[in-house]
Amino acid sequence: MTSTKTPFRQAYIWFLSLAAAGLIIGSCQSGNNNAALNNPLIAEGKQLAQQHCVTCHQLPLPELLDKETWVKHVLPAMGRNLGLEVYPEGLYYAGPKAAISYNNWQKLIAYYQTLAPEVLKPADKPEPAVDDWAMFLLAKPQVDTSQTAMTTLVAIDTIGHKLYSSDAFRSDVTRWDQQLKPTLFKQLHSAAVDARFFRDPTGNERGLFTTLGTMRAADISKGELILLPLTDRGNADSMAVATELPRPLQSIAADFNKDGLTDWVVCGFGHLQGGLYWLKQQANRQFTKLPIKEVPGASQAVVQDFNADGWPDLMVLFAHADEGVWLFLNDKKGGFTERNLLRFPSVYGSTSFQLVDFNKDGRLDILYTCGDNSDYSKVLKPYHGVYIYLNHGDFKYKQAYFYPINGCTKAVATDFDQDGDLDIVTIAFFADFKNNPSEGCLIFEQQKPLQFRPHAMPISAYGRWICMDVNDIDQDGDADIVLGNFSKTFIIQEGLKPTWDTHLPLIVLKNKTLTSTTRP
């Protein structure tokens, strides 16, 4: 007769089997991992994790999260992905369509719960940050206390010498002049998260704005690419390049098939569905959407001829489930060949990357950040921060630098102090605001090759930074920084209330290296 055990009956039977084996889950100390793996149940749990977890992403090690986060949050979410029914109090039911049996699922849980630490220890910082203004001066607009700042975009237009922003509440594009006075430029259907500025063949400036569609972690494809004229506020030449996109985060231009028409590649982050898309321009100015890689998590791309064959290629950061950096080489036939360059555990929460030559060897290195902390493992993580991976040729990269920053969101490298080497600025949307709010924005001044002096500027009271742009906003020859304040929601630290300004949409950090030695 077919078994009809309830989840509660199954759990009780499994508990008895563990007791008989001399192992109650969680009874081992994480420091005794080798001894724990001598137990056949735990060893089999590890094998099951290697079998099932790698079907979606790199195998995460137990020590990446604490016991409670694994058992109460991450593993229940993963169980659903394997077809298990999840009930309160950590009870599961493996139906006929589940990819793993109930008993094997419990062994997998035992592996993670037994070997995971009780708590994650904070990372040791190689050098504490200096509290000063580095080489910057603060500039900020007048505060409108009737508005709540939910900034999703800050973008410096170096052609028209303007600053643009967007807001999640108002779904707008706002233009700021040199005195940081705002003007509503365009009303959109949803908030913009990316902007590209260029001149068309007639010499007129245009901007392509990528709108997210929804801030919710859901498969709602309402994102758009909107092409706007920047020299005229009228709508005559405005056009939607693409609509119904899966939560796109970035769009960049390239002529992938070398037909003389500008195409766009779109990073559709999505949720459970998403992808990297080629918007191929036709002769009638319409665009055809062609998938390059249809998996969620595409968040940032760089277009360049990476193999020097005369055709544009792509390097792309994917930041959901199977996280990492992928290379897409143009096959010159309307497609791409794919190659993985870097791969990260699914709990890293990859957030940004940039290609720059740190060691001046003529090869582009990878500046990478991880720190997204809004999913199932909302704990501070010692591996969050900024990384440098040096290029050793043939697309081989090796980690050469790491500085821990809780919830690191973005890093940009440029020569801020004009001394001939690259410095770095970072922001952290999920910083440790209770104990170290200044890590929300740090400047890394390079003093010797790959040796940086971090500076923590006193700006944590002005906002919670989710977006950033770096360029010469005041046209004085050195790079400035604009930070966007997303002041509400996505707070993961229990009991934390905003200690930052919830009305100020953005601030500008003006670099005075070439014009003055004055400091605030």
pLDDT digits (tens, 9 = 90+) for 220-237: 999 999 999 998 644 457
Single-letter residue type at 358? F
pLDDT for 28? 44
Q: What are 209's strand-pairing partners?
A: 195, 226
Residue 518 reports pLDDT greater than 80: no
Span 91-115, pLDDT tens digits: 999 999 999 999 999 999 999 999 9
List, for residues 242-272, the tens digit of each pLDDT value: 999 999 999 999 999 999 999 999 999 999 9
Residue 35: the pLDDT is 78
The tally of CA atoms less than 13 A away on the side-chain side of residue 492 is 17
Least confident among 166-180, 279-293, 503-517: 503-517
Give residue 26's pLDDT: 45
Tens digits of residue pLDDT in 182-197: 999 999 999 999 999 9
Query: Is the model's pLDDT at 414 over the cut of 50?
Result: yes
Residue 428 binned pLDDT confidence (cut-offs 50, 70, 90):
very high
Distance, first Cα to last Cα, the chain = 80
Q: Which pLDDT tens digit goes with each residue over 50-78? A: 999 988 888 899 999 999 999 999 999 99
Q: Are 116 and 62 within 8 A, CB to CB?
A: yes
Q: What is the pLDDT of residue 238?
A: 84
Check residue 120 and report its DSSP letter: P
Q: What is the pLDDT of the chain when averaged over all its residues?
A: 92
| The predicted structure's pLDDT at residue 7 | 52
Residue 258's identity, in one-letter code, is K
Four-residue CA torsion sign, 43, 45, 47, 53: negative
6 falls in which pLDDT band (50, 70, 90)? low
Section 25-47 average pLDDT: 74
Residue 169 has pLDDT above 50, yes or no: yes
pLDDT band of residue 418 (cuts 50, 70, 90) is very high
Confidence of residue 489 (pLDDT cuts 50, 70, 90): very high
pLDDT at residue 24 tops 90: no
Q: Can you list the domains of the chain with their CATH numbers?
A: 33-115 (no CATH), 130-511 (2.130.10.130)
Residues facing residue 266 across a β-bridge: 251, 277
- The predicted model gives 200-220 an average pLDDT of 94
pLDDT in tens, 236-249: 578 999 999 999 99
What is the phi/psi pair of residue 432, to 5°?
-80, 80
Q: Which tens digit of pLDDT belongs to each residue from 109-144?
A: 999 999 999 999 999 988 899 999 999 999 999 999
Is the pLDDT score of 300 beyond 70? yes
H, E, C per residue of 422-466: CEEEEEECCCCCCCCHHHHEEEEEEEECCEEEEEECCCCCCCCEE
pLDDT score at 54? 86
* pLDDT value of residue 231: 84
CA separation, residue 370 to residues 41, 185, 427 (Å)? 33, 33, 11
CB 457 within 8 A of CB 133: yes
Rounded Cα distance, 456 and 369, in Å: 18
**Which pLDDT value is given to residue 478?**
97
**The pLDDT value given to residue 30:** 42
